[in-house]
Each structure stands twice: as structure tokens, then as C-alpha cells.
Amino acid sequence: MLLMNLQRLSASSLGGRSLCRRLTTQPNTQHPESLKRQQRQTQTQHESPPYKGQSFDEVVELRKQYLTPNVTSYYKKPLLIHKGSGSQLFDQDKSYLDMFGGIVTVSVGHCHPKVNAALEEQLRTLWHTTNIYMHPKLHQYAEKLVAKMPGDLKNVYFVNSGSEANDLAMMIARLYTGNHDIISFRNAYHGASPYTMGLTAHSTWRYPLPGLNSGILHAMNPDPYTGIWGGKQCRDSPVQTTRSCDCQEGQCKATDMYYDQLEQLFKYSLPRGKVAGMFAESIQGVGGTVQYTKGYIKRAAELVRANGGLFISDEVQSGFGRTGEHYWGFEAHDIVPDIVTMAKGIGNGFPMGAVVTSRKVAEVLCQALHFNTFGGNPLACAVGMAVLDVIDEEELQKNSLDVGTYMLKGLERLRDKHDVIGDVRGKGLMIGVELVADKETRQHLSAPHFVDIWEMCKDMGVLFGRGGLNANVLRIKPPMCVNRTDADYALAVIDYCCDQYMKKQKRGSRR
């Protein structure tokens, strides 16, 4: 019934003009009535406040004059966001359903009252001391955070971002093992600092700097959808790719072949038996919510350790219950890493990150002085504790599994309906929708065509991220407080916008 309602267009409300044309040119377009009703349902608990700041044009001029020109914004007409509440964001004119969570950062909802209260209470008593003195929040939070970790991952070092966390993890792995070489995947993203840029294997995120790849090798990415091998039996997801494969239940032949390629890397490109470590996101984030073939990560971790290295799980995007089935993404791979890095959702938007490892590994930092001025400051620790409490009290991991699986199944139906949707993947509320020009060849949808759909979604009040090497993947990673009503509206908008895009393409082909 939901999908049928999307086709009911009111000729009088459209004024005789093409809705598709209006959607792509006017940010405040009038919606079909059925979508209007659904949008109102997503906004019932969120009051839209008046905007009293500088005008859009004034902000644009200030941005041009004072920010470096590489700082770019989403959308042809950028949003001027001034308030957030739960799953909603507000610009000067309207509200939006946020299905990207500030790039997978807002974990428990915009301006959550309990997190706000914890921060407000702390800022009235103590903002900052650094670790030259002890303050109680640092120690309380450390105990609370490592209680969520398995095995002997019981020592934590606090930093301010995911890039800092991965920087430190690289240094620890090299110090601990005495080896230099580190492996990451093609298509991986682990940060954009000068150190982590070498780990990141996207040409779009890399500057032509000397020494960037010093001691870093990129392994073939075991991607069941666009990789050399893989298919409909190869992914740990509620939704499988439609690509055919001859894997049997409980055996993934694609994993065997990708693992063989990893062994070749050890055989030909590394000193025998000497590697410092390997980095892996549990699910690739910036790369387009890419999941690996079944069993690959566990075998890779074993190979790394057999050659003297540490296995590092990057949980910057997949941690804190987002994948639904587990609190940490690496748990789905049946491993306990040697080092875990985390950020983003750890602070619900507050700048913080962490590196968690064992006491034995952590002791290598005692070889010299190492210090982070703001890491583990009282404000960040107060926020971090409140975030952990909210995730537990509001059962947001369970909600991620429930709403995320519901949405994945809905997206699967849309994939089967629309030729422009090539693949749907992910777990919990870490979801990717890959848009294609050709389903058979899996040729990616080019940027102008992707933007046509993406802008339409924004104009209808839903914000999605954009990812993948070819920037053709809708990244759906909302605050974990979203509900099925939110999911229904997001699905309805994707369905409607894809339908309008395909109609537009057919009209163009007839001309």
C-alpha cells in the first residue's frame, strides 16, 4: 500500500508542471499528499524553531572569504543547519529527516537531553586539566568503556578523532612488533592525516606527497559485489547481492581466492615473517558500506599474527551497537583484535576518539613520553559516559537491528523494482545502496545522474550520505534512535525519486 500511494500525484497541486523538474530545481517543492502525510508523522515530536542567525547569502560570502577553498558542502544549494533534535535537522526554512547522522557520528540522536545534561553539569565544574593531574571522569569513563570490550582489551588511550586514533594504532603496532610494514585494503578509509592517508586507499582522498605509502601495502578488497569474485552466497547481511556464484552453504569459494591474493602479498611484497599489522574496518564506511566475503577477516587476522603482526579493527563507524547484532562490528567476524580504534559515535558529535588494546601492547608507549593535551578531558568523558548509558537504557543496539533489518528488507524490494538500484547491503543501521547504470555489468551510475536522485531526496526532506570510490552509493547511517516511521518515509522517498528518475530517462530516450 505504501509503494502504491507514491504513484498518486495530484495534478492540481503540481500546477500542470513536471514534479521531477520542480524537485530538482526548487528546494521547497510541494510533495504529493501521501508523502506529505508521512513526512508529518516523522516530525510530530520535533518543534521547528525559528532561525534568527545570518542570512544564507551572508554565510555563503563569509565561507568564500574566510574558509579554505577545499571546504565543500553537499548539494547544489547547501543547507544552513542551525538546530537538531533526535533524527531531525532544521535549516532556516524546513526540517529534514537525517539519515546520515553527521557522517555516522550522531549515535543516540541530535541534542539528546541526557547527553546535554551531562555536558552542562560538567562544564559548570571543570572543563580541562590534561592528564598531568587526575580527574575522576577520565577513570570512571575508562572503566565503563573497556567493560564493553572482550578479552584482554582493557587499556584505553583517549584522543580527539578517528584519524588520531588510527595514527596512534599504527605507531603502537610498529613499536610493539619491531616491524614496519602495515597492510590495509584497497577501498579502505582510515583517515586523512598525513600518516593515515597512506592507509586510505581512495585516490580521491590522497594528495601527491612523498613518503605517503612508506611501509604501507594495499591488499585486494574482498568485495562480493564489485570485486573479481563473489556473489549471492558470500556476504553476512540480511540482503545478498543478486550476482550469481557457485558457493555452497558454509563455504565461500570467493574467500579462498581473495585469501590466496593476501598470501601472495605476504609472499612477494613483505619481509618474510615480518609485518607490523593489518587494519580493517569491520564494514567499510566511506568506501560505500562494503562488506567482505564470509570468513575472510578471521583468516586474515590469523595470517597477520602468524607473521608477527597485530590485527587492528577500525570501529570508527561500525562500533557502539550500530550493526545491531553486536556492540562492535568485529564481533561478527568472530575475532578479538589486538587493537581497536573508535571515534564518531563515541561522543554523539562531541570530538573524541580512543585506542583500546591490552596492557602488554600498551606498555610500548612507555619507551618515550607520549601526550595528548585534550584526550580524555572532563567534558569529553562526561559525554562519553552519557552516550554509553543512553545506548543501553534506550536499547539502541536492539533498535538498530530491528529498524535496520526492516529498512534493508524494504530496500531489497526497491532494488528488485528499480533498474537504477544495483545492490543493497549492510547490517543494522549501517546501510549502503549502490546506484548503477546497468544491473548486469554493475557499471556505476555517473555523478550527474546520481546527484539527480540524491538532490531529489534532499528536496523531499531526507538527507542521505554519499560514498564509494565512484560516489554512487547512498550511505544510510542515521542516529540509532530512528524508528520504523522514519524508515518508511525514507523508503518512500527513495522509491519515489528512483521512479521519477527512471521516467525522466525514458522520456529522454524517446526524444
403 CB contacts (<8 Å, ≥6 apart)?
429, 482, 483, 484, 486, 487
Domain boundary among 364, 394, 424: 394
Pair (159, 214) in one structural domain: yes
What pLDDT was estimated at residue 17?
A: 29
| CATH number of the domain residue 50 falls in | 3.90.1150.10
Cβ atoms of 312 and 277 closer than 8 Å: yes
Domain that holds residue 81: 33-102+396-509
CA angle 106, 476, 259 (to 5 degrees): 105
What pLDDT was estimated at residue 52?
A: 87
Pair (219, 350) in one structural domain: yes
| CATH number of the domain residue 218 falls in | 3.40.640.10
Give a yes or no: residue 8 inside a domain.
Answer: no
The partner residues of 311 in beta bridges, in order of sequence, read 278
1 CB contacts (<8 Å, ≥6 apart)?
none
Give a yes or no: residue 502 inside a domain.
Answer: yes
What pLDDT was estimated at residue 28?
A: 36
3-class SS at 255?
A: helix
Pair (362, 460) in one structural domain: no
Give a yes or no: residue 15 inside a domain.
Answer: no
Pair (145, 183) in one structural domain: yes
In 67-124, where does DSSP find H-type helix?
101-104, 113-123
* Residue 43: CB atoms within 10 Å: 21
Per-residue pLDDT of the chain (511 residues; tens, 9 = 90+): 333 333 333 333 323 323 332 333 233 344 566 676 666 666 655 667 788 889 999 999 999 999 999 998 999 999 999 999 999 999 988 899 999 999 999 999 999 999 999 999 999 999 999 888 999 999 999 999 999 999 999 999 999 999 999 999 999 999 999 999 999 999 999 999 999 999 999 999 999 999 989 999 999 999 999 999 999 999 999 999 999 988 877 789 999 999 999 999 999 999 999 999 999 999 999 999 999 999 999 999 999 999 999 999 999 999 999 999 999 999 999 999 999 999 999 999 999 999 999 999 999 999 999 999 999 999 999 999 999 999 999 999 999 999 999 999 999 999 999 999 999 999 999 999 999 999 999 999 999 999 999 999 999 999 999 999 999 999 999 999 999 999 999 999 999 999 999 999 988 765 5
Nearest to 326 by CA among 400, 224, 394: 400
Length of the chain: 511
394 CB contacts (<8 Å, ≥6 apart)?
108, 481
Number of domains in the chain: 2
Buried b (16+ CB within 10 A) or exposed e, 375-412: bbbbbbbbbbbbbbebbeebebbebbbbbbbbbbebbb
What pLDDT was estimated at residue 339?
A: 98
Nearest to 474 by CA among 426, 427, 433, 425: 433
Pair (189, 46) in one structural domain: no
Please give the model's pTM, rounded to 2 decimal places.
0.91
- What is the amino acid identity at position 171? M
What pLDDT was estimated at residue 255?
A: 97
What pLDDT was estimated at residue 6?
A: 39
Pair (366, 459) in one structural domain: no
Give a yes or no: residue 164 inside a domain.
Answer: yes
Give a yes or no: residue 136 inside a domain.
Answer: yes
3-class SS at 318?
A: coil
Pair (324, 409) in one structural domain: no
Burial class for 300, CB neighbours closer than 10 Å (0-12, 13-18, 19+): buried
Instruction: Please report, in angstroms and rounded to a whole number, the separation of the first and last CA atoms in the chain.
Output: 33
Distance, in Å, from the CA atom of 470 to the CA atom of 125, rounded to the nearest integer, reads: 48
Domain boundary among 376, 394, 412: 394
**Which residue is associated with the grid cell 569474485?**
229
Cβ atoms of 397 and 345 closer than 8 Å: no
253 CB contacts (<8 Å, ≥6 apart)?
229, 245, 246, 247
Give a yes or no: residue 21 inside a domain.
Answer: no
Pair (503, 371) in one structural domain: no
Pair (421, 308) in one structural domain: no
Pair (131, 177) in one structural domain: yes
Pair (339, 456) in one structural domain: no
Pair (267, 387) in one structural domain: yes
Q: How far is CA 393 from the centre of its chain?
A: 23
Domain boundary among 363, 394, 425: 394
Give a yes or no: residue 27 inside a domain.
Answer: no
Give a yes or no: residue 179 inside a domain.
Answer: yes
